[in-house]
Copies of this chain bind each other. A is one copy, B any other.
Amino acid sequence: MSEEPLSPITAAVIGASGFAGGEICRVLLEHPYVETILPVSRGSESFAERHRHLAASGVEFVEAGEAERCDVVFFCTPSGEAARGAQTWLDRGARVVDLSADFRFGDAATYRAAYGNDHPGPDLLAEAVTGIPELYRDTIARARLVANPGCYVTAAVLALLPAVESDVVDLAEVVRIHAINGTSGADATPQRATMHVRVVGSVLPYNLDGHRHAPELEERLTSITRQETRVDLAVAHGDFARGIYLQASVALRAPMTRDQLLQLYLARYGRAGDGEPFVFVDARRRDGGLNEKVYDVYPQMRDVVGSNLCRVGLDVDRRRAVARIVAVIDNLTKGAAGSAVQNMNVMFGFPEMAGLSRCGLG
């Protein structure tokens, strides 16, 4: 925990015209310790036009110059901008949370392999801390610069953590992950593929040659497991605006029951109100025979949309010695802006749920 007093702070948001930037503003509007929100946008639209759902909030875009005096800055910018700009903000004494991929890799070579170009500002790579409080809470509390993970990475790490931290997963087999993201995670430029008429009632797969969150996730899991961990990540957009539905399958080293595995998860994450504040293990009992369809014992995405929660549930396929895990998050909240504010809370010593206590809408 930080030693700083809980005095109100000023937060700047660079690149505030996109979905993640808007979501940071939405979350900060509910934050008891954030007094001033300074969203910066290069576009010509007003804040109320750009973020219609926040039109009644009174928030307005500011000029870049006006945002210079702040306690924390969130980068929601295209690749490279945070890498080039973060040092300036650190020099001003601000903390930095970067939602882009600039500081997500431990070294410039991995970045280059994943993104195909040289890292635009590698000097700060060593200082940046990965923004997964469930893993790195103490380090984040001392950090000046936090790299917020990719949305799929957050969901996948939380889905897998209790299993891979223990010894139950056979990591010689690839970890296979399938995830469906809302269209708020898609490119914001109007184009035919993401028009309503094309996506409604359908599923839109993309980048099946390898999503760039995959190497990020492999680095993360390898760091956790201390052995090389390979990931097969397939992604698509579904017919919803917000949310990630992520299903992961891992090979088990030895037979175990669903209850045994659930116990591992409950032990790691705790139960509601007592443990990880934003991870909830869905441990409903599974009835029903072999021939029956069993619904409703796993987490459902709609129960987390609008919240910073990740809900995790699972089952074991005993014949194949496979554990199947489902994690659901709101891609804009826990998958981006909510995590970013959670990281801010940890960095500033605020209560970790400050501004983030809202439940899903159901």
User: Which residues of A line the B interface, CB within 8 A?
Assistant: 19, 22, 26, 29-30, 48-49, 51-58, 79, 115-117, 173-174, 176, 178, 180, 182-184, 186-187, 190-210, 212, 214-215, 230-232, 234, 236, 238-243, 245, 247, 249, 251, 258, 272-273, 280, 282, 284, 286, 289-291, 293-296, 298, 300-307, 309, 311, 313-320, 322, 324, 326, 328, 357-362
28 A-B residue pairs with Cβ-Cβ distance under 8 Å, sorted by A, are: A26-B362, A29-B359, A51-B362, A55-B303, A56-B309, A58-B272, A116-B289, A117-B291, A180-B180, A184-B197, A186-B196, A190-B190, A190-B194, A194-B196, A200-B240, A201-B243, A202-B245, A202-B300, A203-B238, A203-B300, A208-B314, A209-B286, A210-B317, A232-B324, A239-B239, A241-B362, A358-B358, A361-B361
The answer on a CB contact under 8 Å between B57 and A272 is yes
Q: A324 — nearest CB in chain B belongs to which residue?
A: B208
Report the separation of the CA atoms of residues A51 and B360 in the bound assembly, to the nearest whole angstrom: 10
Report the separation of the CA atoms of residues A206 and B295 in the bound assembly, to the nearest whole angstrom: 5
Report the separation of the CA atoms of residues A349 and B139 in the bound assembly, to the nearest whole angstrom: 44
Contacts of A301 in B (CB 8 A): 201-203
The answer on a CB contact under 8 Å between B232 and A236 is no
Q: A239 — nearest CB in chain B belongs to which residue?
A: B239
Report the separation of the CA atoms of residues A116 and B288 in the bound assembly, to the nearest whole angstrom: 12
The answer on a CB contact under 8 Å between A202 and B243 is yes
Contacts of A215 in B (CB 8 A): 319
The answer on a CB contact under 8 Å between A239 and B57 is no
Report the separation of the CA atoms of residues A294 and B237 in the bound assembly, to the nearest whole angstrom: 12
Q: Which among B54, B115, B247, B305 is the interface contact of A359 at CB below 8 angstroms? A: B54
16 A-B pairs besides A22-B362, A176-B249 with CB distance below 8 A are: A30-B358, A48-B272, A52-B300, A53-B361, A53-B362, A57-B359, A58-B273, A186-B293, A200-B302, A201-B201, A201-B243, A201-B301, A201-B302, A208-B315, A232-B322, A234-B324
With A56-B280, A183-B200 as known contacts, state yes or no: A195 contacts B195, CB within 8 Å: yes
Report the separation of the CA atoms of residues A355 and B217 in the bound assembly, to the nearest whole angstrom: 38
Q: What is the minimal beta-carbon distance from A94 to any residue of chain B, in angstroms?
A: 26
With A198-B196, A306-B306 as known contacts, state yes or no: A204 contacts B362, CB within 8 Å: no
The answer on a CB contact under 8 Å between B203 and A295 is no
With A208-B326, A289-B116 as known contacts, state yes or no: A239 contacts B242, CB within 8 Å: no
The answer on a CB contact under 8 Å between B240 and A236 is no
Contacts of A241 in B (CB 8 A): 196-197, 200-201, 302, 362
Q: Which among B117, B193, B194, B314 is the interface contact of A197 at CB below 8 angstroms? A: B194
| Among A29, A309, A317, A359, residue most surrounded by chain B Cβ atoms (within 10 Å) | A359
